[in-house]
Chain A
Amino acid sequence: NAGVMQNPRHLVRRRGQEARLRCSPMKGHSHVYWYRQLPEEGLKFMVYLQKENIIDESGMPKERFSAEFPKEGPSILRIQQVVRGDSAAYFCASSPSSGRATDTQYFGPGTRLTVL
């Protein structure tokens, strides 16, 4: 059973371009979470999705950021018109069932975004 997969592992973008980060959850998992980690910082929650539904996006900036988890295919975190401050590691996690309070989350290896 493959773990959570994220691609690309490293992404370089110039200011103003779009960044698309992909996350494939573990087999059988229908809940996906996105986190951002700045250097020397802990993870900050961004968004929680189930298939075709955004459950909680309270941690996601209101502008330029969007996330989706379609019925088929991976979850996508999209950052439009990137700025230098978006440079960070973006981690995706998945869990098998509902109830964030009790489920262990399984993390992917992360995508390191560098904005030039």
Chain B
Amino acid sequence: SQQGEEDPQALSIQEGENATMNCSYKTSINNLQWYRQNSGRGLVHLILIRSNEREKHSGRLRVTLDTSKKSSSLLITASRAADTASYFCARYLRDDKIIFGKGTRLHILP
């Protein structure tokens, strides 16, 4: 993709395990935001990380940003059934454009 990818496309893990999703980008960003989308629903904002930040935490969520590798990761610790959803990385570019990837479909197994 011209603007980067998210991987994996799909992820299935056991409840209680940690889930890691990655997002890459190709042009300079202002910030990067992660969103969650439950099936058939709108997107919910999870966390924002600015280009001068390296790590952010919010509850069980941890986001890292490596600008030298142009990549970000979202870690969900101690996963729960309710975490089953699609997770999207939104790249907020310096020219004010916002690019969403195809997302990672996370499935938490009981």
Contact = CB atoms under 8 A, between A and B. Distances in A.
A35, A43, A91 interface centre (most CB from chain B within 10 Å): A43
Nearest to B105: A40
Interface SS of B by simple majority: strand
Given A42-B100, A101-B94, A110-B42, 16 more contacts: A35-B100, A40-B102, A42-B88, A43-B43, A44-B100, A45-B99, A91-B43, A99-B96, A101-B31, A101-B93, A101-B96, A102-B30, A104-B45, A105-B98, A107-B44, A109-B41
A102 B92 contact: yes
Interface residues of B, number: 23
Contact of B92 (A56, A91, A101): A101
A106 B103 CA distance: 18
A43 to B, nearest CB: 4
A42 B42 contact: no
Interface string A86-103: 000001010000011110
Contacts, number: 52
Contacts of B30: 101-102
Interface of A: 4, 6, 35, 40-45, 56, 91, 93, 99-102, 104-110, 112
A42 B96 contact: no
Contacts of A107: 35, 42-45
11 contacts: A41-B102, A42-B103, A45-B97, A100-B96, A100-B98, A101-B30, A101-B96, A102-B31, A104-B33, A104-B45, A104-B48
A43 B93 CA distance: 15
A29 B108 CA distance: 35
